[in-house]
Structure 1
Amino acid sequence: MTHSESPKSTEPRLSASLVLVNSHNEILLVQRNPQARSFAGQHVFPGGNFDAKQDTSLEWTAIRETFEEAGLLLALSDSPSTLLDVDLTQAREAVHGGQTTFSTFLTNNNLRADVGALLPFTTWVTPPPSASRRFRTQFFIAFLRDPSSDGLYSGREEHLPTPDGGQEVIRTRFLHPESAIEEFRSGKIGLYPPQYYILETLRPILTGSSSTESQRNAVQMLSRAAFGRMVINPKFLLVNDGAEAFVYEGDELRGGPKGRLHRMVVERKGAPFSQMNLRRNFDLFTQCPVEVHVPKL
């Protein structure tokens, strides 16, 4: 299941997370169970650990976990009616209960995981102090397709996300990036730096309440540029008269040009992070630092 691992682990575990955007420019957020070992009670994008026994890629991991945690399925079928006839709730319960695997469920219903719909959207590595719970998480972004757009079927716009009965998730909903950030700032929801960073990145792009082709193209271009391949290894430092910040690659404090800012200034009062302020002053398409090494699955 999501983000569970041996406490003796020192190397970051491979994981994947999906930023799923609907036709209203809203992003799927799930609230983790307050009793969870990782990200307890926080709002995150659906995702979890790569499972070598059943996942063929990190894209597959992201799709499987989104189905398990939120009940939304990104799958392809040669016939739109095939997916409409599938009882997703029953299938999800069977996967959770170990009665079948996600792969078997797809095969038995002549479905294929829509891995081609996922675009890379940065990778984040947990800082070393959390040695027993470190992750190397590949974030992907995908848009729910309109079922009438072509002969294949992916997702279901009319199918609302639902929690998994509290096993890992207690709440699921779509929120516009602007609304999610406002709810965080007012203390209504909790976020971690990677989620806040991605929401802030998407906020000026996904404006309005209806997804447009130009907006989707902008996200695709961002994914295909240096930003999509960027690997972020945060370093926690004191900046600006003692303010706490996670400093990222390319920042002047990490060897970048003088004046280059790439950091998240944070405040901690009660919640893990009560406030966050992203300071980033470079072009996302051409100046993102890119890591050459890609870990093997």
Structure 2
Amino acid sequence: MSDVPIRDAATVVLLRDGTAGIEAWLLTRVREMVFAAGMSVFPGGRVDEADVDLPFAPGAGAEVAERYGVDERHARALLGAAVRETFEEAAVLLTSPVADLSGARADVEAGRVSFGELLRGNGLRIDAEALRPWSRWITPPGEVRRYDTRFFVGALPDGAEAQDVTSESSSAGWVGVGEALEQVQRGERGMLPPTVATLASLAPFRTVEQALDAAPGRSLDAISPTIRADGEKVIATLPDGSEFELPKALFR
């Protein structure tokens, strides 16, 4: 499947401070999905053409453009997709000013109203400063779909409440970063390498503020696991030597 096109995507690691440390919002994708079925993931998805034309403040995206090595138009498309997907999948708006329009989420997901129309109709703009670049992952050759995904970290806005609402997930909720990693080790939760590696990179931080402050120092070099068959297993190996067993369904 070397001819599978690589598409731009954006993912948001939505964080909050919990009683035992940082918690992340995780969704478990329904098993009928073509890509990453049954896997626990962060909110995110493919960049749409309309994402670049969402309302932004003048100059928004300049820092993201510099960090990811793209032009500002490309950066706005990534930010727009990140904010739109977070709203569609968790009903959380990362906008300025902060607003609760969760009642309109289903209409946006179903295409009855565009995300841009919703924002403009309520005087809202994408809050580019709410998201910090964290990493970049490229799906390796051989999978049924391939993405160049930019990962962002962001704090749950004050007064906002994430909701288990999207039709693409069978469950969703806040999970402590350490607990999520332990669930993976116990075989209780399925995750792809980027999700596991991202949670592991957040584990050293005691608070969301500490994690956000560390974002500017993160390497944003593209990471693409190498894939090999090992008997009945499919193994992904990261540049640091870490290995993960992958579901065979990803390679149908």
Same fold at TM > 0.5:
yes
SS of alignment partner, residue 171 of structure 2:
strand
SS of alignment partner, residue 34 of structure 2:
coil
Once the two structures are superposed, the pairs formed by residues 117-136 of structure 1 within 5 Å of their partners are 117-130=130-143, 132-136=144-148
Cα distance, 1:71 vs. partner?
A: 1.2
- Asked whether 1:73 is paired with 2:75, we answer no
Show the counterpart of 2:6: 12
After TM superposition, the runs of 4+ consecutive aligned structure 1 residues lying more than 3 A away are none
Deviation per CA, 1:37-69: give whole Å up to 9, x if none: 111011001100000133442011011001101
Q: How many residues align?
A: 221
- Asked whether 1:220 is paired with 2:213, we answer yes
Deviation per CA, 1:61-85: give whole Å up to 9, x if none: 01100110111111112xx6xx2xx
In structure 2, relative to structure 1, the CA distance for the partners of 1:267 and 1:118 (3 Å cut) is: same
Partners of 1:8 and 1:107 lie apart in 2 by: 41
- Asked whether 1:22 is paired with 2:16, we answer yes
SS of alignment partner, residue 146 of structure 1:
coil
> Does the CA contact (< 8 Å) of 2:16 and 2:24 recur in 1?
yes
Show the counterpart of 1:263: 241
Higher RCO (CA-CA < 8 Å; seq separation 6+):
2
Gaps of 5+ in 2: 53-75
Partners of 1:114 and 1:199 lie apart in 2 by: 24
> Does the CA contact (< 8 Å) of 1:21 and 1:144 recur in 2?
yes
Q: CA RMSD in A?
A: 2.7
> Does the CA contact (< 8 Å) of 2:51 and 2:78 recur in 1?
no
Q: Which has the larger radius of gyration?
A: 1
What is the percent sequence identity of the aligned residues? 30
Query: Partner letter of residue 14 of structure 2?
Result: L
2:158 is aligned, of 146, 170, 181, to: 146
In structure 2, relative to structure 1, the CA distance for the partners of 1:267 and 1:225 (3 Å cut) is: same
In structure 2, relative to structure 1, the CA distance for the partners of 1:99 and 1:247 (3 Å cut) is: closer
Show the counterpart of 2:31: 34
Cα distance, 1:236 vs. partner?
A: 2.8
User: How does the TM-score come out when normalised to structure 2?
Assistant: 0.79
Gaps of 5+ in 1: 1-6, 148-155, 249-261, 274-297
In structure 2, relative to structure 1, the CA distance for the partners of 1:197 and 1:30 (3 Å cut) is: same
- Asked whether 1:50 is paired with 2:64, we answer no
In structure 2, relative to structure 1, the CA distance for the partners of 1:32 and 1:244 (3 Å cut) is: closer
Partners of 2:15 and 2:177 lie apart in 1 by: 10
Once the two structures are superposed, the pairs formed by residues 89-168 of structure 1 within 5 Å of their partners are 89=103, 91-130=104-143, 132-146=144-158, 156=160, 159-164=161-166, 166=167, 168=168
Show the counterpart of 1:64: 84
Cα distance, 1:18 vs. partner?
A: 0.4
